[in-house]
Structure 1
């Protein structure tokens, strides 16, 4: 439940209370004890405020001008209190004292500080008028003040507790939703990683099966090339999931590291600043270079060029039998001359 829902429900209940008190308790007292126009004007002003609040409650809206409505209620309090007959303050003729407190609750329930100030002003003025005019018994006045204001303050306290609980519940629900979202994102990421690993292992499993069944031998050049390609691909896949500032360069370096472990002399040249590159595009940019490095036997040169409009990954290696690569997001050009393979992958950022 939100703050608005708490205040709307509270105002509906208070509206019923005010209507009941005004019609059942205060109207007969007004008719019986007052003949001057001032208390009737106060009563009419309160009815106007009641009609406005009822319209807002029916429409499900908050009060637009609660401070103005509170001021009208206090004016009604002054008119009704100053028109009391002699010796009748806090007695049956003082119909407005308790009713004004309920009205203040009705219009200012969303403004606790303003409500407390208005209630205090109402009580202080009533007590000051009582002391000034000497109207009535002090004990009776104390009982009326205590019984009326304590119940109204209790309603205010209960409302604030409900608002606090609603906010705590909303915060807990939001935290739960955030946790569910993070959990779902983590699960989705895990599934993506699993799918990626399965794709790479799908290319590796036939090789492992052939080696296990002795259908191929590591002494065979083609088998060694397949193993080398699988090693570079797996190393690139592991690097793909690392959290680094420059993922593309990190994946290129991982492939270069595998080639260097095989004894290939690799030089890496980097130009330009890091540019955000989607994962699928990085895979297609790195794939031709990774295959060339896997097939390289002696030396290779890798270059990474980044401009505001284009990213290029090129490799020149003394490798044979490298198949041309194709990409959906990048343009790949591969050529072989005199035992040297030249491959370049280009991706336009715009």
Structure 2
């Protein structure tokens, strides 16, 4: 059975779209909006060349932050180092702006906040709020130092603080919403995938059973007709063997109840069916409930028993036991010249064998790690 789609990778791809959108938005702001402001107010700064350097430094921070975000490289030391450099550019911009023009030409306030959001997008909200508070505090201190804190400046400061913080906190909220929605969408997609896979396996199992019913019918129809019209001798060993083979196959079909069988049982039944088609009568007995296991583990357990079955001559018995939690054993008793194959036994699987005359007994056991 195919594995169901894991929800984790789906959620990562879902949230990555928002991360990319955040990077694009911050980069466009820095290149287009801030670039335009630098050109428009170039001659109004105390040191125009320093402003260009600050703009370039912030652009470099955006590139580094985008690489960390999109590659999911969680590094507290690197993140907060970039945050410190980001805040330093905010201080440099505040110093470069004359006090009377601080709120009009200091684009660094908004840029530092947006870049900070990019850097701490998936970190705790308290860290985001602290960063934005420090950023606002830088501008507030700059205004106070210039003696520009009249009522008009305070009103403008509060208005700009509300406007910039609203955008920045909206990005943080959007990231949380996308993370929550991505998880829900991933779980729903995984459930749909699992249901579709289960339905496909059920249909496959049903089709296989129909094929086996037809196989039994092919084996026994001619014998029954011959017995009815007297053309077949019931004492003939070949007829008895053919009836025994069909009876064993039919008994297994009637005993099967799982729509989605355990991968180990599915592998064993496939090998048993192939051996029966060669005329070998096989009895399958199962004791206990099969523990969940992967396809790889099932293949490792079934490898030796299935190889031994290929050498069975007339009769064989397969017993699958899971009497204790996390333990499974598959034993095969065959007649003829069957041999235990020389193969590398997978981790966790043990193989035991014994021969008595023309009878070979092999057991493959597995303990869940």
Q: Does TM, normalized by the shorter one, top 0.5?
A: yes
Q: 1:82 to 1:63 in 2, by over 3 A?
A: farther
Is the contact between residue 122 and residue 175 of structure 2 (CA under 8 Å) also seen in structure 1?
no
Output the CA distance in 1 between the equivalents of 2:25 and 2:173.
Answer: 15
After alignment, is 2-11 or 166-175 more displaced? Answer: 166-175
Equivalent position to 2:198, from 172, 179, 182: 182
- 1:12 to partner: Cα distance: 1.3
Question: Is 1:49 matched with 2:58?
Answer: yes
Following superposition, the deviation at residue 7 of structure 1 comes to 1.0
Counterpart position of 1:141: 157
- C-alpha contact (below 8 Å) 2:37/2:105 kept by paired residues: no
Contact 2:94–2:108 (CA<8 Å) still a contact in 1? yes
1:67 to 67, 70, 80: 80
Match of 2:224 in 1: 208
Task: Give 1:31's aligned residue.
Answer: 43
Residue equivalent to 1:296 = none
Larger-Rg structure: 1
Cα separation, 1, equivalents of 2:155 and 2:65: 40
- Could you say which residue in structure 2 is the equivalent of 1:288? 314
Pair 1:122-2:108 in alignment? no
TM superposition shift of 1:138: 1.7
d(CA) in 1 for partners of 2:171 and 2:318? 75
Structure 1 residues 282-317: Cα deviation after superposition (integer angstroms, max 9, x where no partner): 866777237xxxxxxxxxxx999xxx9x95445xxx
CA distance in 2, matches of 1:145, 1:157: 18
CA contact under 8 A between 1:81 and 1:129: conserved in structure 2? yes
The C-alpha deviation readout for 1:4-54, integer Å capped at 9, x for no partner, is 33312321122112212212234433531x22x4x7536513412314635
Report deviation, 1:169: 2.9
Shift of 1:329: 9.4
State which of 19, 29, 32 in structure 2 corresponds to 1:7: 19
TM-superposed CA distance for 1:73, in Å, is: 1.2
Give CA deviations for 1:104-129 in whole Å, capped at 9, x if unaligned.
Answer: 23444454644443222212333344
Distance 2:70 2:309 in 1: 55
CA distance in 1, matches of 2:308, 2:206: 19
Secondary structure of 2:98's match?
coil
Matched, 1:160 2:169: no
CA distance in 1 between partners of 2:49 and 2:72 (Å): 25
User: 2: CA distance between counterparts of 1:233 and 1:154?
Assistant: 66
* Correspondence 1:82-101 to 2 at 5 A: 82-89=95-102, 91-101=103-113
- Specify whether residues 63 and 282 from structure 1 end up closer, same or farther in structure 2 by C-alpha distance, changes over 3 A only: closer
Report the number of matched residues.
288
Q: Where do 4+ consecutive residues of structure 1 move more than 6 Å?
A: 55-60, 240-248, 325-330, 347-350
User: Match of 1:67, SS?
Assistant: helix
Q: Of 199, 206, 209, which aligns to 2:215?
A: 199
Q: Secondary structure at the match of 1:2?
A: helix
